[in-house]
Amino acid sequence: MKNYIWVKGPKKPVTLDSRKKDSVINEVKTFVETSEKLSKRVNRFEISRGRVYFYHLVEQFGWNDPNARFTMPLIDGKYIEFHYARITIFIDECSLDWQRHNNQWISVFTGTLTECLQFMNKQDEWFD
């Protein structure tokens, strides 16, 4: 008789129903609007598949050069939008993630949604 072993895989984000999604949107929106740091740095956020993605605009050098070519179309003629952070919502906790230069996400903090937002607000070495 063979002995089978259960292997626990990586956690999967929760599927948010419309009521829970609306409450997350309201909490994130009010926190970003009241935060002095995040209101300046976060351009927009969106919720997709149990994750909250934060975006910020970065002004590109040479945007006014007629011969310059960019790999992505510019927003308002001079900005490119990049990921600022990501919060993954699990059943019992949330994970705050930061994206590296090679597009890999690194988990920086684990806690509740409010704790993740507060950590993102106060930590300058990860989120500047």
- Within 8 A by CB and 6+ apart from 36, the residues are none
- Within 8 A by CB and 6+ apart from 19, the residues are none
Q: Which residue has 């597009």 as its token pair?
A: 103
For the entire predicted model, the pTM comes to 0.78
The two three-digit tokens of residue 119, written as one number: 């950590």
pLDDT at 53 over 90: yes
Distance CA(43)–CA(58), nearest Å, equals 10
The two three-digit tokens of residue 14, written as one number: 């929760």
Distance CA(6)–CA(48), nearest Å, equals 30
Q: What are phi and psi of 5, to 5 degrees?
A: -120, 130
- Output the pLDDT for position 88: 92
pLDDT in tens, 19-52: 999 998 999 999 989 988 888 888 888 998 889 9
How confident is residue 120, by pLDDT bands cut at 50, 70 and 90?
Answer: confident
pLDDT in tens, 61-118: 555 556 655 555 555 556 667 888 899 999 889 999 988 888 888 888 999 999 989 9
